């Protein structure tokens, strides 16, 4: 009798073990803990509300009464974590949704464009790297759930894989890069240029080129600058086939084909 009892315990153990290896449901506790950790690694207070919603297909981010909400379909997250056999799949999906909040997309609800989706994919790659996932783990959700073909809102899988990889690598290179105070500017900037009606700032460099800075602080060099041959001007510069002239009072002038002078901005020495 005792023997039979032991045998049956053994079988119960086997059955339990088999269930373990099939994965587990992604519980509400897991979802809340995942969001809490993603936000923690972002250095932000945990002011997101995470909750289940069985009437949606996947996951969404939106603002309701000034609260930032992440809703997910528990079956979708469970299915994807069982299929991938890792919780990183669900975590990366939640990170993507948090990205919609952090990128400000939910402040102005509209149909998200492919660029918005790629921004959030990049963020999910970045934050998963910070949380200790491997690159394969950061990509596992997209490799299971990502659409092969681009849809109206979601870009094709290859682009999304690229965005996640870029985010992942930027987190890794951040860890490897020197402290911020040791970073030097990529160019020596000599003058600041502003054109009327253009919110961007451009710079003359000591290489006699023009530079614009993107939001990754990457200096993009274009055009060329020359000392002006006429004494009532300081510089002339060229880009997009057109020449512009800087006068002694720092005004930028364009001269039309008809010889008309138009003041179009300012060029100030730094
Ligand atoms: Zn999205």
Tell me: the pLDDT tens digits for 238-268?
987 889 999 999 999 999 888 899 999 999 9
- In-domain check, residue 165: yes
* Domain shared by 42 and 129, yes or no: yes
What CATH number has the domain bearing residue 138?
3.40.390
- Rounded CA separation 149/211 (Å): 37
- Rounded CA separation 230/99 (Å): 53
pTM over 0.85: no
CA of residue 97 to ligand 1 center, whole Å: 6
Distances (CA, A) of 51 to 8, 28, 71, 120, 234: 39, 7, 5, 20, 63
- Rounded CA separation 233/40 (Å): 55
If one counts the domains in the chain, the total is 2
Mean pLDDT for 168-176 is 91
pLDDT at residue number 150: 60
- In-domain check, residue 8: no
CA of residue 90 to ligand 1 center, whole Å: 14
Is the model more confident about 19 or about 97?
Answer: 97
Domain ranges, residue 259: 189-269
> Of 73, 80, 67, nearest to 24 (Cα)?
80
* Domain shared by 45 and 91, yes or no: yes
CA of residue 212 to ligand 1 center, whole Å: 29
Kindly state the tokens that stand for 221: 């060099």
DSSP code for 249: T
CA of residue 103 to ligand 1 center, whole Å: 11
CA of residue 115 to ligand 1 center, whole Å: 10
- Rounded CA separation 198/196 (Å): 6
- Rounded CA separation 131/109 (Å): 29
Tell me: the pLDDT tens digits for 65-106?
999 999 999 999 999 988 888 899 999 999 999 999 999 999
Tell me: the pLDDT tens digits for 33-69?
999 999 999 999 888 999 999 999 999 999 999 999 9
């Amino acid at each position: 009798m005792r023997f039979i009892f032991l045998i049956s315990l053994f079988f119960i153990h086997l059955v339990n073990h088999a269930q373990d290896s099939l994965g587990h449901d992604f519980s509400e506790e897991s979802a809340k803990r995942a969001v809490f950790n993603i936000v923690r690694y972002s250095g932000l207070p945990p002011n997101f509300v995470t909750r289940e919603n069985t009437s949606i297909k996947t996951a969404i981010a939106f603002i309701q009464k000034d609260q930032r909400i992440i809703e997910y379909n528990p079956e979708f997250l469970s299915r994807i974590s069982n299929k991938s056999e890792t919780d990183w799949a669900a975590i990366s999906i939640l990170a993507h949704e948090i990205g919609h909040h952090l990128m400000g997309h939910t402040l102005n609800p509209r149909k998200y464009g492919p660029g918005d989706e790629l921004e959030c994919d990049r963020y999910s790659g970045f934050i998963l790297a910070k949380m200790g996932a491997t690159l394969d783990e950061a990509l596992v959700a997209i490799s299971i759930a990502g659409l092969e073909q681009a849809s109206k809102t979601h870009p094709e899988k290859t682009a999304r894989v690229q965005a996640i990889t870029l985010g992942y690598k930027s987190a890794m290179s951040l860890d490897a890069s020197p402290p911020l105070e040791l970073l030097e500017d990529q160019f020596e900037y000599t003058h600041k240029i502003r054109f009327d009606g253009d919110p961007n700032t451009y710079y003359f460099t000591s290489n006699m080129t023009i530079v614009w800075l993107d939001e990754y602080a990457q200096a993009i060099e274009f055009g060329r600058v020359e000392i002006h041959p006429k004494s009532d001007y300081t510089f002339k510069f060229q880009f997009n086939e057109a020449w512009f002239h800087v006068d002694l009072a720092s005004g930028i002038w364009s001269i039309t084909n008809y010889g008309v002078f138009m003041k179009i901005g300012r060029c100030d020495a730094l």
